[in-house]
């Protein structure tokens, strides 16, 4: 039912994305500049952080100040890699779930991050709304998105080598389920769902093969680190990081409650050693090998 009218999902199930994209190819530059941006934006301390689209947990060790972290991804195999990397530990909770139907009670988290995720979302506003609902008032949201109004796209457009207009406000789907967004549009969406943007960093300015080959990594990273600081004034880099704060009143569930049923929205769920059960619709959501599974359909979407 739900699956019929839900947006399509970019599924990394069984994918070797972690190895092929981050470990084998030359992404040290992107990884280092992202680490710098995260360090600048993250609160120094916190209780419970939701990492939405955690993948294989590349960024998870960077959330140093948080007591507990929920790693959420649609792909169970990515979470298995994360679990192997981070180890079974009370500090981490692994949840396979649909980002359009987050299985948590309202107001559960004091912080959330969404890095390299919005890029794959056909309905990004819905994702931002989901994040807002599970955040406490005043909660911190760190978002990374791909910026269509980047210098390379502008130059290509001006010389006629790119048909889409980098200055127009609508998202561009440059490949199937790969979207770039206009900074103004993302900021408007955030405002609409109840966030105020506190700080922006423009990131990955020098993401060009020729520069990565010719300029020493440390120099390129230092240059980007400096250039990131202009992000509050203009955003011309392919990636933008921002920190937003949840504003306005929002319902907050009873302390001690955690999961919400993604099928019928009832909460709280009854937690057992083998998973979580919904008293309303009687569905049960299994906990197997350290990973909760809240996906309603496990096949290809
Ligand atoms: Zn239910």
C-alpha 128 – ligand 1 centre gap (Å): 23
Between the CA of 281 and the centroid of ligand 1 the distance, in Å, is 4
Tell me, in angstroms, the distance from the centre of ligand 1 to residue 285's CA: 10
Identify which has the larger pLDDT, 16 or 284. Answer: 284
Query: Residue 4: pLDDT band by 50, 70, 90 thresholds?
Result: very low
pLDDT of 196 > 70? The answer is yes
Across all residues in the chain, what is the average pLDDT?
91
CA of 280 to the centre of ligand 1 (A): 5
CA of 169 to the centre of ligand 1 (A): 38
Global confidence as pTM: 0.90
pLDDT tens, 153-167?
Answer: 999 999 999 999 999
Q: What whole-number distance in Å separates Cα of residue 150 and Cα of residue 245?
A: 25
- Contact between 73 and 79 under an 8 Å Cβ cutoff? The reply is yes
**Closest of 114, 132, 112 to residue 66, by C-alpha:** 112
Measure 266 CA to ligand 1 centroid, in angstroms. Answer: 5
Taking the centre of ligand 1 as the mean of its atom positions, its distance from the CA of residue 6, in whole angstroms, is 18
pLDDT confidence of 6, banded at 50, 70, 90?
A: low
Burial 51-88 (b: 16+ CB within 10 A, else e): bbbbbbbbbbeebeebeebbbbbbbbbbbbbbbeebee
Model pLDDT for residues 77-106, shown as the tens digit of each residue: 999 999 999 998 899 999 999 999 999 999
Q: What is the pLDDT, as a whole number, of residue 5?
A: 59
Average pLDDT rounded to a whole number, residues 231-251? 92
* pLDDT above 70 coverage of the chain, percent: 92
262-288 per-position pLDDT tens digit:
999 999 999 999 999 999 999 999 999
Rounded to whole angstroms, the Cα distance separating 13 from 80 reads: 11
- 283 Cα to the center of ligand 1, angstroms: 6
Ligand 1 centroid vs 269 CA: distance in angstroms?
Answer: 8
């Amino acid at each position: 039912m739900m699956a019929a009218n839900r947006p399509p999902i970019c599924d990394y199930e069984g994918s070797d994305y972690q190895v092929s994209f981050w470990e084998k190819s030359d992404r040290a530059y992107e990884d280092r500049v992202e680490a710098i941006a995260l360090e600048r934006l993250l609160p120094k301390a916190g209780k419970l952080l939701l990492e939405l689209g955690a993948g294989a947990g590349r960024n998870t060790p960077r959330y140093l100040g948080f007591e507990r972290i929920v790693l959420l991804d649609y792909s169970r195999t990515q979470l298995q890699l994360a679990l192997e990397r981070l180890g079974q530990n009370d500090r981490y909770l692994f949840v396979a779930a649909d980002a359009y139907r987050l299985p948590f009670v309202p107001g559960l988290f004091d912080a959330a991050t969404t890095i390299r995720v919005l890029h794959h979302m056909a309905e990004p506003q819905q994702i931002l709304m989901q994040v807002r609902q599970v955040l406490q008032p005043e909660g911190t949201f760190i978002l990374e998105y791909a910026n269509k109004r980047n210098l390379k796209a502008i130059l290509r457009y001006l010389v006629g080598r790119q048909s889409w207009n980098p200055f127009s406000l609508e998202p561009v789907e440059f490949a199937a389920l790969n979207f770039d967004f206009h900074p103004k549009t993302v900021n408007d969406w955030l405002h609409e769902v109840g966030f105020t943007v506190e700080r922006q960093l423009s990131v990955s300015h020098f993401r060009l093969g020729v520069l990565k080959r010719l300029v020493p990594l440390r120099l390129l990273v230092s240059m980007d680190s400096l250039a990131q600081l202009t992000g509050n004034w203009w955003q011309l880099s392919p990636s933008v990081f921002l920190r937003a704060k949840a504003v306005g009143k929002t319902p907050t569930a009873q302390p001690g409650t955690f999961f919400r049923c993604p099928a019928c929205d009832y909460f709280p769920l009854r937690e057992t050693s083998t998973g979580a059960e919904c008293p309303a619709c009687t569905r049960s959501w299994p906990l197997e090998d350290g990973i909760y599974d809240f996906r309603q359909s496990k096949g290809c979407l």
